[in-house]
Amino acid sequence: MTVLVAYASKHGSTREVAEAIAGALAERGHASELLPAHEVKTVEAYRAVVLGGALYTGRWHRDARAFLKQHRHALAERPVAVFGLGPRTLAPHEVADSRAQVDKALAAVPEVQPVSLAIFGGVVDPTQLRFPFNRMPASDARDWDAIEAWAELVAERLSRSTVAS
């Protein structure tokens, strides 16, 4: 069966990370399907789910939060891995603040217990933002090596959960 990699992105950087994760899973023997979170009607056909969402102004993307709530019971029955994308830098306090927002979203659906959770740096492209955010300096804090390593960890945990099932 296939692993669903669902993402909630406003400007595309979270989609790019989800694509990399789906590719890494496939390289490790896990067939995957990549879909925007808001397009997913059911997760029943998937043996596992990876859900990623961007963080904006201190909140995890509403489509990621809605996905968790909509599919909470089905997600409780399969392995789930979660990532957030958003701190402008990888400074410990920014990563911790972002982690707190993802934790808050997960607390609303206690049935869902991720096998892994990661926070990755985000992207600021002022040309895609409105005032006053369009005054921010451009940045890309994604650590592609860390993203690849996390995908490898998730693949390993999915392999173990398949053997245990």
Q: Give dist(CA 147, CA 153) in Å, integer.
A: 10
pLDDT tier, 164 (very low <50, low <70, confident <90, very high otherwise): very low
Mean pLDDT of 42-58: 92
Question: What number is the average pLDDT over the span 105-129?
Answer: 86
Q: pLDDT (tens digit, 9 = 90+) per residue, 51-109?
A: 999 997 778 999 999 999 999 999 999 999 999 998 777 889 989 999 999 999 999 99
Looking at residue 105, its pLDDT comes to: 95
Mean pLDDT of the chain: 89
Residue 125's contacts (CB-CB under 8 Å, 6 or more residues apart) are 11, 138
Instruction: Please indicate whether residue 165 or residue 46 has the higher confidence score (pLDDT).
Output: 46
Tokens 């921010």 correspond to: 136
CA–CA distance, 87 with 15 (Å, rounded to integer) = 16
pLDDT at 163: 43
Number of domains in the chain: 1
CA 156, CA 44: separation in Å to the nearest integer?
22
For residue 160, give its domain range. Answer: 2-164
Cα distances from 113 to residues 29, 62, 79, 144, in angstroms, run 23, 19, 8, 25
Amino acid identity at 101: Q
Report the C-alpha gap between 149 and 143 in whole angstroms: 10
Q: How many CB atoms lie within 10 A of CB 118?
A: 23
In the predicted model, what is the mean pLDDT of residues 115-131?
78
At 4-23, the pLDDT tens digits run: 999 999 878 899 999 999 99
Q: Can you give the CATH number for the domain in which 59 is found?
A: 3.40.50.360
Q: Are 15 and 60 in contact (CB under 8 A)?
A: no
Tell me what the mean pLDDT of segment 20-28 comes to: 96
- Does the CA dihedral 21-22-24-28 come out positive or negative? positive
pTM: 0.90
Position 120 scores a pLDDT of 95
